Amino acid sequence: MKSDSFATRGNPTEAILFGVVPMGDPRTAAEALHELQQLAETAEFVAAGCMVQHRRHPDPHSYLGSGKLAELAEVVKLAHSGIVICDDSLTPNQGKAIEAATGVPCIDRSELILQIFGMHARTPQARLQVELAALQYEMPRLRRRWTHLERQRGGIGVRGGAGEKQIDVDRELLRNRIAAVGRELKRIEQHKVREVQARPELFTIAVVGYTNAGKSSLMNRLTDAGVLAENRLFSTLDTRTRPWRLPGGRTVLLTDTVGFLRKLPHQLVASFHATLEEALHADLLLVMVDGSSPEAAEQLRTVDEVLETLGAANLARITVFNKMDLVADPTTLAELWQAEPHAVAVSVATGAGMPDLMAAIQAHLAAVENRVEILLPHAAGALHAEIRAKATVLSEFYTADGCLMEIQASPALLGRLLAEGARVAEDRDRAERPAADDLTSSAPEPPADPAP
């Protein structure tokens, strides 16, 4: 809730964007605040102007220096803007000083991102996560919200009733709600952990990356998931897991996660931990990078930092440079290739490079899974369809004793197959197997059941 002390002047949807950039930064204000402008537009604001100040560190009291703050106030007045948006997180005192100087509300980067998340939250879990982050953000700013109210005093030793400050009432309400939401999210997170642990036999791939890098588009192309995919920041917030059928019939699980962002509020990283539980337990990460973005290298570093914060930095990964159809000059990717020399370049929109991505995934599967030859007796034939769905079948041949199969499978699946009737093939099982040149890529039909 914003203070009622602001004069109602200016268009409330038109905003002046401002920030502090390091000394010597050659970028223009529009270039330095490009991502902030995208965020503002996603939150349905119109950027009426951009302004930056070059200095080593923001002013601890007012963020901008006194001269630049007066200039910001003049720009707001001339543009008839109703709000100013800062590219950094502000302390309560900094926000109060900026609002006093400009006469209009000021929101910082964290609050702007929280607004966007609130607009796009669809599921009960996402709404709870956004609410928790917003409450944690609001707690230290309560004093600023109530500066327009006279603080009342009660009698000596009296707390509560008419003498209690409104700020104390609100603080207690916030604490209670934070605790309640936290308990509910903890319950959801525990359910997520059990859900993920219940499917160890299926190989899981999580798609992570900077927001608007093309994660949902990749998910739709590979699985026909129907996930909302728009050319805007944070178009989807909820984690979605869908089966992906690989060539040959094997199925893996593909998970689309919420996008990362530079200067992502720490409250959101904490509250969305349950949503990212899928990524933390994935067998492989596909790290998506918008190769067409001039800030692609910085975005990749941001993704690495967030993964490290989540404890997922050491997970196996394949880096994917997307939107290559929009890259006019390949030499601009030199820094990216230097950071990720084994990355795969694709265009999800056109399909270019997708076979290379498939080959990289299958090569990873071959490197980390067990490759073994098993005999599946005819009595255990019910397992045949499950093997084809959950493992990579390299070859198979029917013998008198059953189906001789060379498979590539996870340890969990292999252990269960051996427990339910399959066994590791022996030399005598291979005696009827034809030479390699005689094997075809398609499996022969099983023998017909004998006549009764």
CATH number at residue 421: 3.30.70
Give the angle 341-303-356 at the CA atoms, nearest 5°. 40
Report whether pLDDT(207) > 70: yes
- Mean pLDDT, all residues of the chain: 82
Report whether pLDDT(49) > 70: yes
**What is the percent of the chain where pLDDT is above 70?**
80
Q: Is the same domain home to 166 and 300?
A: no
End-of-domain residue from the set 174, 196, 218: 196
| Interval 366-371 mean pLDDT | 91
* Cα-trace Rg, the chain: 29
> 44, 13 in Cβ contact below 8 A?
yes
Q: Is the same domain home to 333 and 379?
A: no
| Interval 10-21 mean pLDDT | 88
Q: Is the same domain home to 259 and 382?
A: no
Q: Is the same domain home to 347 and 205?
A: yes
13's torsion region: left (phi>0), alpha (psi -120 to 50) or beta?
alpha
pLDDT at 13: 85
| Torsion, CA 153, CA 159, CA 165, CA 169, rounded to 10 | -170
Question: CATH number of the domain that 241 lies in?
Answer: 3.40.50.300
Report whether pLDDT(445) > 60: no
DSSP code, position 443: P
Confidence of residue 25 (pLDDT cuts 50, 70, 90): confident
> 84, 15 in Cβ contact below 8 A?
yes
Paired tokens of 328: 């006019």
The CA distance from 62 to 158, in Å, is 36
The SS3 call for residue 84 is strand
pLDDT at 57: 92
> 88, 95 in Cβ contact below 8 A?
no
Residue 300, in any domain of the structure? yes
Q: Is the same domain home to 48 and 132?
A: no
Q: Is the same domain home to 362 and 246?
A: yes
Report whether pLDDT(180) > 80: yes
Residue 178, in any domain of the structure? yes
> Which region among 40-44, 139-143, 185-189, 245-249 has the lowest average model confidence (pLDDT)?
139-143
> Domain range spanning residue 136?
122-196
Q: Is the same domain home to 220 and 361?
A: yes
Report whether pLDDT(443) > 60: no
Which residue from 138, 90, 136, 119 is spatially nearest to 271, judged by alpha carbons? Answer: 136
Integer CA distances (angstroms), 385 to 75, 280, 376, 392, in order:
69, 29, 12, 12
pLDDT at 72: 96
CA atoms within 13 A on the CB side of 186: 6
Residue 17, in any domain of the structure? yes
Paired tokens of 152: 């009342």
**Higher local confidence (pLDDT), 45 or 234:** 45
Q: Is the same domain home to 243 and 357?
A: yes
Residue 126, in any domain of the structure? yes
Q: Please state the domain count of the chain.
A: 4
Q: Is the same domain home to 90 and 184?
A: no
**Helix axis angle, 411-419 relative to 383-390, nearest 10°?**
170
End-of-domain residue from the set 49, 79, 107: 107
Side-by-side strand order, sheet with 392-398: 392-398, 402-409, 370-377, 423-424
The CA distance from 205 to 253, in Å, is 6
Task: Report the predicted TM-score, pTM, of the whole model to 2 decimal places.
Answer: 0.75
Residue 70, in any domain of the structure? yes
Residue 381, in any domain of the structure? yes
pLDDT at 373: 93
pLDDT at 381: 81
**Higher local confidence (pLDDT), 256 or 354:** 354
The CA distance from 236 to 229, in Å, is 7
| Interval 214-219 mean pLDDT | 89
Which residue from 129, 295, 333, 119 is spatially nearest to 213, judged by alpha carbons? Answer: 295
N residues, the chain = 452
pLDDT at 238: 63
**What is the percent of the chain where pLDDT is above 90?**
37
Q: Is the same domain home to 259 and 351?
A: yes
Question: CATH number of the domain that 37 lies in?
Answer: 3.40.50.11060
End-of-domain residue from the set 76, 107, 138: 107
The SS3 call for residue 433 is coil
Pick the most confident of 103-107, 150-154, 188-192.
103-107
Residue 192, in any domain of the structure? yes
Confidence of residue 256 (pLDDT cuts 50, 70, 90): confident
Q: Is the same domain home to 317 and 431?
A: no
Report whether pLDDT(71) > 90: yes
The CA distance from 253 to 196, in Å, is 11
Q: Is the same domain home to 409 and 427?
A: yes
| Interval 294-319 mean pLDDT | 88
Confidence of residue 393 (pLDDT cuts 50, 70, 90): very high
Residue 29, in any domain of the structure? yes
